[in-house]
Amino acid sequence: MHERDVSPLEKPYDAKEHEARLYKRWEDSGYFNPDNLPPRHTTPYSIVLPPPNVTGTLHCGHATMLAIQDAIVRFKRMQGFKTLWLPGTDHAAIATQSKVEKEISKKEGKSRYDLGREELLRRIGIFAQESHDTIINQCKSMGSSLDWSREAFTLDETRNKAVYRAFKEMYHAGLIYRGQRVINWDPKGQTTISDDEIVYEEREATLYTFKYSDNFPITISTTRPETKFGDTAVAVHPDDERYAAFVGKTIETSFCGVPLSIKVIADRNVEKDFGTGALGVTPAHSKVDEEMARGNDLPFVQVIDEKGRMTVGGEDIIGKKTAEAREIVAQKLRDAGLMVEEKKITQNVSTAERTGAIIEPLPKLQWFVAVNKEFQFPHKNKTIAKQGEMVTLKTLMHRAVESGATTILPDRFAKVYEHWIDNLRDWCISRQIWYGHRIPVWYKEGEVYCGLEAPAGDKWTQDEDTLDTWFSSGTWSFSTLGWPNDTSDLKTYHPNDLLETGRDIIFFWVARMILMSTYLLGGVPFKTVYLHGLALGKDGKKMSKSAGTALDPLEVTEKYGTDALRMALIVGNAPGNDFRLYDDKVKAYKHFANKIWNASRFVLSNTKGAQIDEKLLTEKDVLTLAAWRVILKDITEDIEKYNLHLASEKLYSYFWHTFADVLIEQTKSRFQSEDISDKQSAQVLMQILLEEQLKALHPFMPFVTEAVWEIMHGDAKENLLLIQPWTTDF
């Protein structure tokens, strides 16, 4: 039996004295790795960490996910599950490259083209490694019980193989294709981006109403007159009698000195009441117009290049940026008496998430994932579809959730997910940046070959582009477990039991993981998706680094302790809802950590040498213990339903207001009592209650509870609170 020394409890709880030390004890014990857990841990339970981007440091969003996931993982581990929480980081392609590029440009005035591919990648590699190290240490300081022996990186060798295999299988199935499409071009980042990487910003714009020229019978409206050099049609609503006589005709005209051949077409998407009810169709510079063009067999005329400069127009226009050209064109129209009206309107402008640049739709040859293409489901004995059944990727994504194989919490997000899939278009996966997985396709004189290495023979050149970072993170649930190799980890831990992540990346990531897993493995990637909300500042607005409203989680833990921050991130944070994080809230839980510490001191110093035997309990104390266990049962069920916000609050409330305020106060006289059996009973009761509460609190406040436990049970690794069995005597 461990000889209890309560002297460390004499002063107030100081998180700094214990945290790094205890984390090391946990790590050294090996218990973060499920393979090392005691034999009672048989049934697997798995979570993968959403890999933080190697773009810098940990923010409150990371702290939130770490607090929630670690609480769940510690709970499951104590319950006796063979618990795996697998860590990793994300190379985050465009985010990382643009960050490094920005720095190089600022410090050295050089662009990526000055450095060249190899040198830029070398620099990014250094930056990524530094960020990685910082982030890993920060994850550890949050107390995260991650299995570091299985750490993964989206760009490491194993993940690289997985990405290649995914690409190859989809390529050969015709689900990845190369095609000429109007894509979202980011003129600042000089790359394509997917529809999901667009952020709409409301801005004021001028709606110009005019005619191309005097001989053209229809007046049109646009906010971008400079694109009209690329018009090949005018579209009107089929029921619009004003223009019915022109439909089907092609009119030769000109625009600011450039000849145009305009076909008048009818299309249901045109609003009769907007502007003049007629719209100039620019197939090369608008996705909507592109669709009309394909339906009506219209030619594409590109008039803007990748730098966002004009390639068509007069001397005074060619080479100008679009915004400048717009003014020149408008002035010409005014001068020629063609301008009918100029009106201010507010308009949603598409901007690039990462660079903030206004998106320029351009026709380009790019790689896409076909989400609507039918194919035969290739897997045997799967519940999501029958082998050979005709399905699309969309079908599979739908079925994952509709079938109940994956449950989304809170369930209202299931509707959001379904709606997104319905509207999904082919996913553009090629990027013109250098940091990332190079597209594994090789070309030679019209031949195309898909492979990691060039085929035998000379003159094969690899596709210059890299893959969208979400293509690789889409494989995360299984690439982290060793796929495409048939590993025992994959058999044991896939599908993951839980995916816990921010509600803002349900489309980017959750949906893509479902796509990849249902297609490549034939089943869902995880059984449950738990979406947490955003950590907001005290003002209720999104924290922003540039506005200085971002809380640095490490500064907060420095001040109040990690347990305090973890509690502040969990209590009152209902699934899916945004929540505010502020100093006072964290402070309240620092006080709670101290309360636990002091109450423990009282109990331990008054029960030295006393036995723990429930048979010694008086009738009344039996009832008190039973009342606690009713609450504990409730708490257990809350955690199992992932209602951590309820469980944590109940624990807080019981510990403080029942255990400390009532029971401890009562025992003060009982410990002095002449009635030996009553005194004994009080000692037994208080020890049991303390132990069971420490266990129950451990997932939420691992450090202070482990520190007390250590005083009670010594420092043998088998006695770590980390692996003590969850109380089940309800």
Binding residues for RNA, rule: CB under 7 A, are 12-14, 195-196, 198, 200, 221-224, 269-271, 273-275, 277, 279-280, 286-288, 345, 347-348, 412, 415-416, 419-420, 423, 504, 507, 536, 540, 542, 572, 574, 577-580, 584-585, 588, 590-591, 593-595, 598-599, 601-602, 638, 643, 645-646, 649, 652-653, 656-657, 660-661, 664-665, 668
The phi-psi region of residue 652 (left if phi > 0; otherwise alpha if psi is between -120 and 50; otherwise beta) is: alpha
Q: Which is nearer to RNA, 136 or 688 (CB)?
A: 688
Other C-beta atoms lying within 10 Å of the C-beta of residue 103? 12
Q: Which is nearer to RNA, 149 or 269 (CB)?
A: 269
Distance CA 619, CA 76 (A): 33
**Nearest distance from residue 255's CB to RNA, in Å?**
14
The interaxial angle of helices 15-29 and 702-713, nearest 10 deg, is 80
Q: Which is nearer to RNA, 379 or 580 (CB)?
A: 580
Which residues, 6+ apart, have CB-to-CB distance to 143 below 8 Å? 19, 23, 66, 70, 562, 563, 566, 702, 703
Q: Which is nearer to RNA, 431 or 590 (CB)?
A: 590
Cβ(197)–Cβ(518) below 8 Å = no
Q: Which is nearer to RNA, 454 or 660 (CB)?
A: 660
Q: Which is nearer to RNA, 121 or 564 (CB)?
A: 564
Q: Which is nearer to RNA, 634 or 715 (CB)?
A: 634
DSSP code string of 509-553: IIIHHHHHHHHHTSS-SEEEEEEE-PEE-TTSSB--TTTT----H
**Nearest distance from residue 589's CB to RNA, in Å?**
8
Specify the pairing of strand 258-266 against strand 461-462.
Answer: unpaired
- 706-to-30, 175, 691, 700 alpha-carbon distances in Å: 16, 51, 11, 11
**Nearest distance from residue 82's CB to RNA, in Å?**
28
Q: Which is nearer to RNA, 179 or 725 (CB)?
A: 179
Cβ(533)–Cβ(503) below 8 Å = yes
Q: Which is nearer to RNA, 572 or 714 (CB)?
A: 572
Q: Which is nearer to RNA, 190 or 557 (CB)?
A: 557
**Nearest distance from residue 353's CB to RNA, in Å?**
10
In the chain, the amino acid numbered 197 is E
Distance CA 217, CA 363 (A): 29
- Give, in degrees to the nearest 5, the angle at Cα 374 between 368 and 377: 105
Distance CA 410, CA 518 (A): 22
Instruction: Give the three-state DSSP class for 410.
Output: coil
**Nearest distance from residue 133's CB to RNA, in Å?**
31
Place of tokens 């739709």: 361
**Nearest distance from residue 440's CB to RNA, in Å?**
29
DSSP H helices in 259-369: 287-296, 322-335
**Nearest distance from residue 664's CB to RNA, in Å?**
4
Q: Which two tokens stand for residue 450?
A: 């898909």
Q: Which is nearer to RNA, 301 or 664 (CB)?
A: 664
**Nearest distance from residue 362's CB to RNA, in Å?**
15
Q: Which is nearer to RNA, 155 or 543 (CB)?
A: 543
**Nearest distance from residue 596's CB to RNA, in Å?**
8
Residues 593, 575, 60, 539: is their CA dihedral positive or negative?
negative
**Nearest distance from residue 86's CB to RNA, in Å?**
28
- Beta bridge partners, 345, equal 205
Cβ(656)–Cβ(589) below 8 Å = no
Which is nearest to 184 in space by CA: 194, 172, 173, 199? 194
**Nearest distance from residue 339's CB to RNA, in Å?**
15
Q: Which is nearer to RNA, 200 or 443 (CB)?
A: 200
Q: Is 433 exposed, middle or buried (0-12, 13-18, 19+ CB in 10 A)?
A: buried
Which is nearest to 366 in space by CA: 471, 473, 472, 465? 465
**Nearest distance from residue 329's CB to RNA, in Å?**
13
Q: Which is nearer to RNA, 284 or 384 (CB)?
A: 284
Distance CA 309, CA 318 (A): 7
Which residues, 6+ apart, have CB-to-CB distance to 167 below 8 Å? 176, 439, 440, 450, 467, 471
**Nearest distance from residue 34's CB to RNA, in Å?**
30
**Nearest distance from residue 9's CB to RNA, in Å?**
8
